Each structure stands twice: as C-alpha cells, then as structure tokens.
Amino acid sequence: MTQIYGYAFHSPLVLMNLVPLKYNPVYLDSKWVVSELKKNVEPVLTRSKKTSVILAGSLRVLQMFVRAYPDSPVKVILFDFPGLIHPFLDPCIEWIDCDHQAGGAWQITKTKLNSFEGLLNDLEVLGVEGKDLIERMGRFIPKDRTNDIEKFAEFMPANYKELLEHSKEKPENQIKEVTWKKKTLTELIGLLLPQIQKPKRVQLLSLILDYQLDKVNKRDYNTKIKFFVDNNPNAKKLSNATRKWMDDTKHGGVLFKAYLDYLCNITKRSWKTILEDHGAVAELDLLILIEQQHRDDIDLTMHYVDECRGILELPANMNPPEATVKWSDGTMHYHPESPALLQVFELV
C-alpha cells in the first residue's frame, strides 16, 4: 500500500548515492521551477529503461513533477518535514526516520543504510492513490519577513546625532516622505521613467513589473536597479518610492493578490469583483501587469502554485461572468483590453 517514503532528517543527495544500480535515481532540487525540472529530468526519464526513484527535495517540487509527468512509472521518496505538512498521515506514505509523538515531540530513529535497498524493493510504484495524496497535501510556509526587516533597517538612524535630527523633523517633512501612498503604481512609474535615459527605459519598466509580479527577489532587484538610477538623485528617490509602494502590503501586496485572482478566477469571478474585493485596485495597475504577463503564459500556474492556494478558494459570483468586453480585434473577453506598455508610458 505504501507508495511514498518520507524522510525529514536526511539529505536527498546523500541517499541518492545509495540507490542500487538496478534503479535510476532522479534528484529534484527543492528550488527548481518547471523549466529546470524539464531540462534536468525529462532526458533521464526518456532514455533510461530502469525504474526511476524520485528523490524530491520538497513537497512543492514533487507536486510539480507529478503534474508534469503524471504517467511516469516511478518510486517516490519525499524529503520534507511532516510537522509542516497536512495531511502528513496516510496509508500511502510512510515516514521512515521520524515518529510523531502524542505530546508533539519528534523522535529520530536513524535509518540503517544497509536496509535502504530492501526499503526500495518493498516500495510500490506511485499509483492513483499516491498521486491523489501528493495533490491533496499542503505545506505551511511562514511569511517571508525579509522586506519588513529591511524596511525597518532603512529608517534606522546611523548614529546618535542623526537620531536627534530625526526627532526634530517637522511634521510637513514627514508628510513628503509618504506621498507615494497616495499614488498608483502606474503614476509612480510614469514619474520615474522620464528621469532615465531613453535606451534604458524599457529595461527598467520590465524590471519593475517583474518585481511586482514576484519574478525577481528583493536582493536581485536592488542590485539591478542601481544600474539605472545610481548617478541620478531624482531617479534614485523616485525608484525608492516605487519600491516602497510595491513592498507595502496595502499597495503592492493588494495588487499582487488581485493579479493572482485574475490569473486563477477570471472565468468565475467578474472583473469588477476582482478589482473591488482586494480594496479598490486601480484598473490600469492591474492591466499593465496583465500586459507584462498574460494569463495564458506557459507554466504560469506552476510558478505561483503556492500563492494561488487561498486565492482559488475565493467565492465565485452568483451569476458566472460572461465574455462581454469587446477588444480592438473584435474578440470578446472577460476584462478590458490591456494597453501596450510602450504606449502607456510613452516609450514609442
């Protein structure tokens, strides 16, 4: 009955070297995206005639694999922490090196390495029940507080003298620092781009929108943005305001959730519902994100698979939306046509 082995306290790279020669070990890195999965795994699955043993570095990458290769006959080993997985207990999965105690403690029972081959021989090939369990499993992911910590550090005075100067600032000076909160993302980008040399504007626009779409992490974004604004104080000030807007949970966070709502639910939740349910999102802000990354882009739902879990559960409209919005090419759609980014920001 067991179709999945679970390991909480072992490295998949270590156990990969213990897989007997009659099996074909396939390692799935926990940080891989779909393109990396296909690049590294597909050639191995198609060329080898042996039964493959999938050593998945996390539940997320295992789910990605099962969706990409649903018909591959494989044996599966999952490396993750059952205390953060629900459901972690099922007849299809056996946790080899940990025992969930009634008091909530974990007792490690080290796996005997010489018995690993026997374990593999006893493990069934992944079937319908095992695939269903993998799909039903969810993993608790703590909120990434990096942005909050870095945001706090940005406002920390460098020394005692600066602290005194900050305490003497007039209220009107503080008001100037938060004017970005009253603008939309489109307005902030529109103020920033004219400060940049024309050949660089399209690249900067793409970088900003990719950061808002969570395709670029904060560290990489801060490194790349210097290329555009370092020698221009006005551009630097406006770029900081734009980043603060995107990092703010009531601005960039709300817009990102609205985009995910569009991505997952546009056929069951109307455009107006998506705009209003997240706190009156500016329509043009959402449209420029759609223009940057369309709903039918390949592997998009895979990229946002964790973020979309709660979004998919949002209530549908009582009356399902209809494709009643006419675009310039005469076709009917669920939402307004997104304007070309080059025209919105006058880059043509």
- The encoded tokens of residue 109 equal 């029972």
With beta carbons less than 8 A apart as the criterion, state whether 292 and 206 touch: yes
Q: Where are the beta strands (DSSP E) in the chain?
A: 4-7, 23-28, 51-56, 74-79, 85-86, 93-95, 98-100, 106-108, 138-139, 325-326, 332-333
- The encoded tokens of residue 228 equal 């555009």
Burial level of 17, CB count in 10 A (0-12/13-18/19+)?
Answer: exposed
- The encoded tokens of residue 261 equal 């709502």
pLDDT of the residue at 256: 94
User: How many C-beta atoms lie closer than 10 Å to residue 247's C-beta?
Assistant: 18
pLDDT of the residue at 84: 85
What is the number of alpha carbons within 13 Å of residue 164 lying toward its C-beta? 2
Strand pairing class (85-86; 74-79): unpaired
- The encoded tokens of residue 336 equal 């307004």
User: How many C-beta atoms lie closer than 10 Å to residue 156's C-beta?
Assistant: 9
pLDDT-based confidence at residue 104 (cuts at 50, 70, 90): very low
pLDDT-based confidence at residue 162 (cuts at 50, 70, 90): low
pLDDT tens readout for residues 167-188: 555 444 443 444 788 899 999 9
How far is 130 from 136, CA to CA, in rounded Å?
A: 10
**pTM for the complete prediction?**
0.52
pLDDT tens readout for residues 75-102: 999 998 888 888 888 999 998 865 444 3
Query: What's the rounded mean pLDDT across residues 263-291?
Result: 91
Strand pairing class (85-86; 138-139): antiparallel
Residues 6 or more apart whose CB falls under 8 angstroms from that of 197 comprise none
With beta carbons less than 8 A apart as the criterion, state whether 312 and 301 touch: no
**Total residue length of the chain:** 348
40's enclosing H/E stretch is: helix 34-47
How far is 63 from 75, CA to CA, in rounded Å?
A: 14
Residue 26 vs residues 54, 58, 132, 153, 237: alpha-carbon distances, Å = 5, 14, 21, 42, 48
pLDDT of the residue at 289: 94
With beta carbons less than 8 A apart as the criterion, state whether 182 and 245 touch: no
Inform me whether the pLDDT recorded for 124 exceeds 50: yes
Strand pairing class (74-79; 4-7): parallel
pLDDT tens readout for residues 13-39: 888 888 888 999 999 998 888 888 888
Inform me whether the pLDDT recorded for 129 exceeds 50: yes
Q: Amino acid letter at 112?
A: K
How far is 87 from 10, CA to CA, in rounded Å?
A: 21
How far is 181 from 245, CA to CA, in rounded Å?
A: 7
Q: Where are the beta strands (DSSP E) in 258-342?
A: 325-326, 332-333
For the chain, give the mean pLDDT.
Answer: 84
Q: What is the DSSP letter of 110?
A: P
**Look-up of token digits 């949002």:** 314
**Residues paired with residue 25 on neighbouring β-strands, in sequence order:** 53
pLDDT of the residue at 55: 95
How far is 145 from 34, CA to CA, in rounded Å?
A: 26
Domain ranges in the chain are 4-139, 160-348
How far is 6 from 102, CA to CA, in rounded Å?
A: 19
Phi, psi of 168 (to 5 degrees): -95, 0
